[in-house]
């Protein structure tokens, strides 16, 4: 039996990938500090998949959407919602997960 909820970290990857991964690691640390188990697939998958190869990007996105099935919540970080994030948000809504929005500074956004 799980004692802590799992939260899916949803944030941009494309653009400055290295910087965006560091941000996602920070968002994960924030979720951990709030008592959650963070899951940031884009941090994990970029260690063995190349986001610039379309087939590998698609595989990573598919695996991320599958991992949403074990999560309790999805937390969206930042002002921008990328195409990949939009797919994750849609999947989370379809699964009935609780969604929360945060700024890049981990400040909650209403709505």
**Could you list the pLDDT tens digit for every one of the 111 residues in the chain?**
889 999 999 999 988 999 999 999 999 999 999 999 999 999 999 999 998 999 999 999 999 999 999 999 999 999 889 999 999 999 999 999 999 999 999 999 975
Is-contact 93 99, C-beta < 8 A? yes
Beta bridge partners of 37: 6
DSSP per position, 8-33: EEE---SSSHHHHHHHHHHHHHHHHH
| Model confidence pLDDT, tens digit, residues 86-98 | 999 999 999 999 9
Residue 1: per-residue pLDDT:
81
Cβ burial 15-33 (10 Å sphere, 16+ → b, else e): eeeeebbebbebbbebbee
Over residues 76-88, the pLDDT tens digits come to: 999 889 999 999 9
| Residue 97, pLDDT score | 97
Q: Please give the Cα distance from 34 to 45 (Å, whole number).
A: 24
């Amino acid at each position: 039996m799980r004692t802590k909820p799992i939260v899916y970290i949803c944030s941009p990857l494309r653009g400055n990938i290295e910087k965006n991964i560091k941000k996602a690691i920070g968002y994960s640390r924030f979720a951990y500090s709030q008592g959650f188990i963070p899951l940031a697939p884009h941090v994990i998958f970029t260690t063995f998949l190349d986001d610039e190869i379309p087939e590998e990007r698609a595989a990573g996105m598919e695996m991320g959407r599958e991992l949403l099935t074990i999560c309790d919540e999805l937390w969206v970080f930042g002002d921008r919602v990328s195409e990949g994030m939009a797919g994750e948000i849609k999947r989370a809504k379809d699964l009935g997960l609780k969604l929360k929005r945060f700024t890049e500074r981990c400040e909650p956004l209403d709505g």
